[in-house]
Structure 1
Amino acid sequence: MALLSSPAEPTSNRKLVLFIAALAAYGLILILPTPADLSSSGQVALGLLILAVILWVSECVSPAASAIVLTGAAVIGLIGKPLTGNARPMTSADALTTMLTGFSSSAVLLVAGALFLAVALKLTGLDRRVALLVMSKIGVSPARLTVGAMIVGFVLALFIPSATARVGAIIPIMVGVVTALGLPVTSSLGATLMIVTAQACSIFNMAVKTGAAQNLISLGFMEEAFGRSVTWGEWFITALPFTVSMCIVLFIVSLVLLRPQVPPTEEANSRLAAELATLGPVTPPEKRLMLVAALLLALWATEGWINPLDTATSTQLGIALLLMPRIGVMTWAQAEKHIPWGTVVLFAVGISLGMLLSRTGAASWLAGITLNNLGISAMPVFLVIGVLSTFSIVLHLGFASATGLASTLIPIMIAFAQTIPHGEQVAFGIVMIQSLVVSFGFILPTNAPQNMLCYATGAFTTGQFAKVGLAVTVAGLLLLVLFSATIWPMMGLL
């Protein structure tokens, strides 16, 4: 009884106030006069956008809970309103169906399948084996260890779509390396490896189509708007020059600004060798997983070229193999316990919200009163991309979820890009580049979950992270403008 009667924590009270404020903001948008060039359903969509931003930025409810709140609020707001100009007024069932459209997207199926692949890596221990092998072979100088951290991040990005899961697997390895050298985690080396682990994760989110959920949610909107998609190989090749350049920038910036020091010792090599030895020989489940992973990489890389399967279909086939008796490496009962189903639900509702913004005309209206009024549509394409990227980066400072940012930002970018006088191919390229910028969570630890995981180790301060992150962000912005004026037009993107 004492527990039940205890007063709520101040944090809970604050979250309640923020939640009520979010609902009040949504209600206020609904009761305001509808602008002449905006539909009533579009006004509801804008209200939902405000509600989503407040919920995601304040984190007053969990991401999964925010998806449920948004769905309920949408149904209440859309009842009696036509989805488009000539449509009949919606019933509650119609409104609910509209908010469930995201669940039919193949991107949702791909995210769920990729999460199963991440679980398979974790259950078999293959992720840890790969990380230890790379770090034991690379060497123990500051430069080599920094490169090693990047290589581990890239290899895991090929198979694990969750930045949080990837970094969670890497952190124990980095801590082990630092302590094996007789250094505290808070040393310059510890700070460097942890910051590089987090920042490289964001870079590789951009490099690999299946590396992050925000890529897939952006592609879902692009398919809806432009009627075309991007294969795994096309995405990788397009992003490759930029992400390689960003890795070089991160390598130089981290070594110059943080100046990691390593004592002359062979302890690290022996420690890593000992940890590898504890893993034992490669197990049969690991071998089977490696075969399936190699098959998936081959299918992804040849999508639309040699094989007719899209990324979502090939991924589902791979997961089916991993769940089969004797052939697979896990059962459904084992896998489902480790899948963050709330992420899948949030992802689907985020797609639904973006589609609602687009179908009701709310995204076009918002783009018209913001981006179009800046007069940037008449600028050269590379300057347009520079301005849009700056806008996205500043907006990201208030977001802890790149998925939420993509759901908010990409429909607006699509609506704007379709108004500029450079043709549909250029519009498509602009939106794809902005889908890369969504992963620019470099400046604050709160800008991405993987940043917070690394920050929780206590290895670095917010100031150290921001110092490196600002330099990487500025360099990244300049590279975006440079490549938009040179390499990407030559590749046919713009």
Structure 2
Amino acid sequence: METAETIARPKRNLKPYWITLAFIVLVVILLLPNPTDLPVMGQRALAILAFAVVLWMTEAVSYPVSSAMIIGLVAILLGLAPDMANPDVLLGTKAALKLALGGFSNSAVALVAAALFLAAAMQATNLHKRLALFILSKVGVKTGAIVFGAIIVSIVLAFFVPSATARAGAVVPILLGMVAAFGLPHNSRLGALLVITAVQSVSIWNIGIKTGAAQNMVAIGFIENEFGESVSWGAWFLYAAPWSIIMSVVLYFVMTRLIKPETQVVEGGKELIQGQLKELGPMKSSEKRLIIVAITLLLFWSTEEILHPFDTTTVTLIAITILLAPKIGVFDWKTVEKLIPWGTIIVFAVGIALGTILLDTQGAQWLSNKVFGAMGLENMPILATIALLSLFNILIHLGFASATSLSSALIPIFIALTTTISLDVNDVGFVLIQQFVISFGFLLPISAPQNMLAYGTGSFTVKDFIKSGVPLTIIGYLLILLMSATYWKWIGLL
């Protein structure tokens, strides 16, 4: 809570200092002697990565602005570097710019864009809100039942709304409305319990479903580029959903035991939900069409490479075309323009491009050898390797507000690591497991956008969030190790 002193003394703007620090880090790395086992382009790519990481961790500029800066630096610094294929000539800014913009041609970027359109369709029709209200209307008025309902809502929406922030934005206001209906303030124990449960469940199912979060598409993009393999929607679900199901059960028991609400029964909660459903009115024809498209899309996703040859991106783009079509669609382009966070697409594409540049210039391989080679990972058993990398992943996530940016920075390094470890493992599975851990956003409100959205409601404190985040992170980490030793080996992921 703010005191009179903190209100009177404005918060100092440190962003110019962070931007300055990012450029200092960039220049220092550029001025370091070039290692003999690292191409000049590789060293410059690592300098740009360090620059990006400082901006991403400090949020000195918005993510789209940082992306524009990265494009400019790639074009200039790599353009003026010796061409790896012919060191006697410079690569040239035109060729370097092509590398910087290469991420826009990646199919994973098209899938992220299509997913944003799908989320916008849900918002435009309010179908996600209707789904959430319908589920909550069926669970009862006991607080334990509402906690269970909040988890179920997050799970169901994860299948149809490929945006963690949109899912949280649908369910959090409803839960706070139930708290208000009981006459409690939004920052009551009940408010904290319900809202934290909802956003933690959103984070859990970011892992369980391939289309649940943009950072998953980052990993898929790199995997397709480097290994020439794709991970179907159904395969991802087979790998990750059991982890998410177990963690959803864990979440229920952690939340109901750690945060004790003021009441065990939310009197009037059911009436409030029924009233909100009544306000929405009868289901509109646009909602019915969206349901048909969403269920059809889910069927195509889940049967990819089993019943048909169409990949996730292609069927999603076709679905968006139908949703935008006159007469049979659910919204028009003017509506879409206002609902799509266009900067997300730019950030995603540039992140993919930067990661690909790191791999193509051998910067990722060199960094992987120096960092993880010093840890002796190449001689460790696979479970110990996963344990150390996962712990590293969790700790570094404390400085990142965006899992998408974290994936852009780390997945290329993990891919490079697969070339140095001597163990006979499935490289794709090894990288995927680390991607699952990258999506851990349980510890702090700043760890994920959906957490920040919920924190902005003032319904809980940082201490409340950490109280639930610590056990969830520890249990989730141990479950990653357990499944690495058992289930994922049995089904061939490792």
Deviates more, 1:119-128 or 1:152-161: 152-161
Deviates more, 1:412-421 or 1:55-64: 412-421
8 Å CA contact retained: 1:181, 1:262: no
* Equivalent residue letter for 2:314: T
Any residues of structure 2 matched to 1:14-413 within 5 Å, and which?
A: 14-86=14-86, 88-264=89-265, 266-413=267-414
* Equivalent residue letter for 1:350: G
CA-CA distance at 1:379 after TM superposition: 2.2
CA-CA distance at 1:12 after TM superposition: 7.9
- Quick one: distance in 2 between partners of 1:289 and 1:198? 25
8 Å CA contact retained: 2:144, 2:264: no
- Quick one: distance in 2 between partners of 1:183 and 1:386? 43
Match of 2:295, SS?
helix
- Quick one: distance in 1 between partners of 2:35 and 2:10? 40
Q: Deviations over 1:428-466 (max 9, x none)?
A: 211000111111111111111111111111111111111
Match of 2:160, SS?
coil
* Equivalent residue letter for 1:187: S
- Quick one: distance in 2 between partners of 1:389 and 1:214? 16
- Quick one: distance in 2 between partners of 1:162 and 1:299? 19
**CA separation of 1:265/1:372 partners in 2, compared to 1, >3 Å: closer, same or farther?**
closer
Q: Deviations over 1:79-137 (max 9, x none)?
A: 23245354652111111001011000000100001100111111111011001001110
CA-CA distance at 1:10 after TM superposition: 7.2
Any residues of structure 2 matched to 1:447-462 within 5 Å, and which?
A: 447-462=447-462
Match of 1:436 in 2: 436
- Quick one: distance in 2 between partners of 1:266 and 1:340? 38
Match of 1:460, SS?
coil
- Quick one: distance in 1 between partners of 2:189 and 2:136? 18
Q: Deviations over 1:287-327 (max 9, x none)?
A: 00000001100110111111111000000000000011100
* Equivalent residue letter for 2:91: M
Match of 1:36, SS?
coil
Task: Give aligned-pair identity as a percent.
Answer: 47
- Quick one: distance in 2 between partners of 1:94 and 1:334? 37
CA-CA distance at 1:385 after TM superposition: 0.9
**CA separation of 1:148/1:485 partners in 2, compared to 1, >3 Å: closer, same or farther?**
same
Deviates more, 1:243-252 or 1:53-62: 243-252
8 Å CA contact retained: 1:83, 1:360: no
Match of 1:303, SS?
coil
8 Å CA contact retained: 1:444, 1:466: yes
* Equivalent residue letter for 1:239: A
**CA separation of 1:11/1:29 partners in 2, compared to 1, >3 Å: closer, same or farther?**
farther
- Quick one: distance in 2 between partners of 1:77 and 1:11? 36
Match of 2:4 in 1: none
Match of 2:60, SS?
coil
Q: Deviations over 1:183-223 (max 9, x none)?
A: 22222211111111111111111011111110000111111
**CA separation of 1:32/1:303 partners in 2, compared to 1, >3 Å: closer, same or farther?**
same
* Equivalent residue letter for 2:488: W
* Equivalent residue letter for 1:55: L
Match of 2:5 in 1: none
Deviates more, 1:259-268 or 1:369-378: 259-268
8 Å CA contact retained: 1:192, 1:254: yes
Q: Deviations over 1:10-60 (max 9, x none)?
A: 768521221122112112211221111111000111101111111111111
Match of 1:417 in 2: 418
CA-CA distance at 1:337 after TM superposition: 1.7
**CA separation of 1:266/1:78 partners in 2, compared to 1, >3 Å: closer, same or farther?**
same
**CA separation of 1:196/1:263 partners in 2, compared to 1, >3 Å: closer, same or farther?**
closer
* Equivalent residue letter for 2:96: A
* Equivalent residue letter for 1:129: R
* Equivalent residue letter for 1:324: A
8 Å CA contact retained: 1:209, 1:235: yes
TM-score normalized with structure 2 length: 0.96
- Quick one: distance in 1 between partners of 2:195 and 2:84? 49
**CA separation of 1:13/1:474 partners in 2, compared to 1, >3 Å: closer, same or farther?**
closer
Q: Deviations over 1:130-187 (max 9, x none)?
A: 0100111011222211111111111221122221121111111110111122222222
8 Å CA contact retained: 1:39, 1:85: no
Match of 2:476, SS?
helix
- Quick one: distance in 2 between partners of 1:415 and 1:10? 45
8 Å CA contact retained: 1:114, 1:159: no
TM-score normalized with structure 1 length: 0.96
8 Å CA contact retained: 1:217, 1:407: yes
Match of 2:6 in 1: none
8 Å CA contact retained: 1:101, 1:352: yes
Aligned residues: 485
Deviates more, 1:108-117 or 1:218-227: 218-227
Match of 1:337, SS?
helix
- Quick one: distance in 1 between partners of 2:287 and 2:120? 13
8 Å CA contact retained: 2:232, 2:311: yes
8 Å CA contact retained: 2:208, 2:244: yes
Match of 2:3 in 1: none
RMSD: 1.5
Q: Deviations over 1:364-394 (max 9, x none)?
A: 1111011122112322212211111000000
Report whether the alignment pairs 1:468 with 2:468: yes
